[in-house]
Structure 1
Amino acid sequence: MLHILKAWRSCKLVILGLLLASLNSWSPAAYADKNKSVYDIDYRVQLDPGDDFAQVTIALSGSALPSQLTLHFNPERHIDITGEHLTQKGDRTVWQPEPGRAQITYRFKIDEKRSSGRYDSLMTERWTILRTDKLIPPVSTRASKSLKSRATLRVNTPKNWNTLAPYAKDEHGVFQLKDPGRRFVRPKGWMISGRIGSRQDVIDGTDTVVAAPLGKGVRRQDTLAFLSWTLPELKKVFPEFPQKLLIVMAGDPMWRGGLSGTRSLFMHADRPLISGNRTSSMLHELVHVGTGIRGDKESDWIVEGIAEYYSLETLRRTGGISERRYQQALEELADWGKESPNLLVRRSSGPITARATVVLHQVDQAIQKASKGQRSLDNVVTALAANRGEVTLQKFRALAEEAAGAPLPQLERTFLSGKKKP
């Protein structure tokens, strides 16, 4: 009996020690130290109908803040910049906020007209469409590696306006920004605000919203139906596809095409879901959303070629077009591509993208043949999408030849520049 009592006393001492250790680890001092590693960023935007300038405030709060922020403002669109501890260095504004609370304000010109005379950002009396990563400029920070940010976006508008962005809202209508891997979080992607209509559905795990200004001629439900049978196939190749997707649509005078953004895209309301040449601008831009890649000074053809090829492939794989129509589309693209035999240029034009699509089809066929059907171009683009970032010819060729297990003459520089046939 005595040895049992001694064992019980020892057990109580161990439990007491564990409790004391636990209390010590959750002490107010420890909790305060933990909070020092996180600060808050509150983006506030004021939109007024008819005024093509947005009033923007970036407010920081926390016991520890970055020692320095460099904001890369566009002098043609960001004006009237004010705040404490600011220094102008060319087109850069250096901000050295003091711990506690600090803020900077400026005005942003919303209307932006492209060379075609159409707009890719516009404010009207009834609605506005813009990209938030243009509204909030790129920011580089100097801060401790342990210091991270939490960010929200508040958009103030007239009472009868609604605002949508590719982020979740809390119960107060405030966007909760997420950007995994980034220590300084800022909003990215398309935003639409105003008297708008939307349709929403969860498609293969992706919360998908199609939104447009109120009015006739916008195919919100048609677009959702189209995505319900194409997006799941697309996600098989791009499994890192975002869980939230916003598609913004509008008619004239907006740009008559498609433009991708982070977790979002813009598409002119008059663009068909499937074009007469059997490609799809909608799927093309969705591939851009899914890959998140960009080319270097000679590899834009890879980025645009992948988007066009998989818009065509997705339609074929889902039965949207027949095998005969698929082959006809490749033949038409091959003819168009003869206008620009050199792919190794900075920007991919229509003929370059057409030839790039055909080259990627040839690469796909070569990989499948060399690997006896075990691998395909899917393996290559899935790897690119997983890494995102910049793509080079060297990187793309290495991945493709690894998948094939053999050299691919279709990716030799002399062939890509149009100097010889494979």
Structure 2
Amino acid sequence: MALSLLLMSTGVLAADPEYYDIRYKARLNPEEGTAHVSINLEGGELPSELTLHINKERHLNIEGSDELEVEGEKVVWRPKGRRSTLQYDFVIDEKKSRGRYDSRITDKWAIFRSDKLIPPISARAPKSLQSRATLEIEAPEKWNALTPYVKDDSGIFQLNDPGRRFIRPKGWVIAGHIGSRQDIIDGTDVVISAPLGENIRRQDTLAFLSWTLPELKKVFPEFPQKLLIVMAGDPMWRGGLSGTRSLFMHADRPLISGNRTSSLLHELVHVATGIRGDKESDWIVEGIAEYYSLETLRRSGGISERRYHEALEDLAHWGSESPNLLVKRSAGPVTARATVVLHEVDKTIQKSSDGKSSLDDVVKILATERGEITLKKFRHLAEKEAGVPLPQLERTFLEGKKKP
């Protein structure tokens, strides 16, 4: 009792958090190709200022019940009183390179990312002020909607983002006339969903994950407890795209390619790690995803040791086309060489530590911390596990200027 009084008198005890509610609502309009979005705040105290970092070509007709400043790609919203509302129209269709969509709405379905629908938002508020948030998707009659969040009895998604005081939705959304398959795999609630009428291998994908996901989770024990995999055919992007607790995969992508890699496992590693590279470290992000897609197949028995090493040899040959890894975007030959470099790093860590450590220990730390990764940080973590310098991570070697 005396200790409690002392802590209170010295201000050590933090004040109990005060909550306000954020209600996100998106009304899908297939005829116009848009979603009408409203963000409603309500509580005894609201943030004094919120800054939205919008895409001027997709976030249109922005209005609010209180003071707004719209300047370029930044919107400053200053709520007043106990309630405040901001609303806008969001253009859903968006094409990546080669004319393929990574966001699309038709008269039968819609696929998009909620963290594009709701742009990044920074809030100015006391540290004791925290949010509770929900997302409602209003769609045409007989449409269903899925996100990586739990839906309550009234069909509203209950958002959660531990550690964040201002919560906004993240991850993939699919809505419309859709079909789904669901199973609990090693403690993760996995849902495979796609538009009806397309040749989608929902059950095959669940079966594939039933023997690969448990092996992946040994490396990434903090893997999400809920996973949404959205699939569709043309004209969607012919590859995979990861998101928070979710990913998109084109229906034509094989579960295991002829070169023994797996686009699905590659994207699942992205979901597991949640890391991004700085201007020269994207090779680390993509290399980890490709290396652990291969490792997961090997460790789970999906490919033999011989096939595994053949895959590494093929990647080494391909990677020779791009000797410099320190580039802004890692793809193709860069990712191939990055995968081989990480394999060599892994072998060196295991050998120098007498098998007590491996690259697994490094990526577990990255997946726990998440966020941005740099070469300096990665090298520090890897050499700490190895107990010796790693010539494979020297800048001159990564730039292709010398051998390790």
In the alignment, residue 57 of structure 2 is paired with which amino acid? E
Q: How many matched pairs?
A: 389
Deviation readout 1:31-76 (Å, 9 max, x if unpaired): xx96x81000000110123321110000000110000001111101
Deviation at 1:390, TM superposition (A): 0.6
The answer on 1:231 being equivalent to 2:188 is no
The answer to whether the 8 Å contact 1:51/1:123 transfers is no
Identity of aligned residues (%): 71
1:23-38 matches, within 5 Å, as: 37-38=18-19
The answer on 1:97 being equivalent to 2:79 is yes
Deviation readout 1:158-191 (Å, 9 max, x if unpaired): 2211000000010000000000111110000000
Q: Please say which structure displays the higher CA radius of gyration.
A: 1
Q: Secondary structure of the residue that 1:116 maps to in structure 2?
A: helix
The answer on 1:288 being equivalent to 2:254 is no
In the alignment, residue 239 of structure 2 is paired with which amino acid? G
Question: Which residue of structure 1 aligns with residue 391 of structure 2?
Answer: 409
Give the superposed CA RMSD.
Answer: 1.0
1:21-420 matches, within 5 Å, as: 37-83=18-64, 84-420=66-402
For 1:397 and 1:287, how far apart are their aligned partners in 2?
20
Deviation at 1:216, TM superposition (A): 3.4
- Where do 4+ consecutive residues of structure 1 move more than 4 Å? none
Q: Secondary structure of the residue that 2:154 maps to in structure 1?
A: coil
Task: Give the structure-1-normalised TM-score.
Answer: 0.91
For 2:365 and 2:336, how far apart are their aligned partners in 1?
23
Unaligned residue ranges in structure 1 (runs of 5+): 1-32
Deviation at 1:114, TM superposition (A): 1.2
Q: Secondary structure of the residue that 2:366 maps to in structure 1?
A: helix
Q: Secondary structure of the residue that 1:249 maps to in structure 2?
A: strand
For 2:297 and 2:58, how far apart are their aligned partners in 1?
40
Task: Give the structure-2-normalised TM-score.
Answer: 0.95
Question: Which residue of structure 2 aligns with residue 8 of structure 1?
Answer: none
Deviation readout 1:207-244 (Å, 9 max, x if unpaired): 11000000131000100110010001001101111111
Deviation at 1:115, TM superposition (A): 1.9
In the alignment, residue 65 of structure 1 is paired with which amino acid? L
The answer to whether the 8 Å contact 2:133/2:167 transfers is yes
Unaligned residue ranges in structure 2 (runs of 5+): 1-14
Q: Secondary structure of the residue that 2:99 maps to in structure 1?
A: coil
Deviation readout 1:248-294 (Å, 9 max, x if unpaired): 00000000000000000000000000000000000000000000000
For 1:77 and 1:230, how far apart are their aligned partners in 2?
38
For 2:294 and 2:70, how far apart are their aligned partners in 1?
48
For 2:79 and 2:292, how far apart are their aligned partners in 1?
46
For 1:103 and 1:123, how far apart are their aligned partners in 2?
26
Deviation at 1:90, TM superposition (A): 2.6
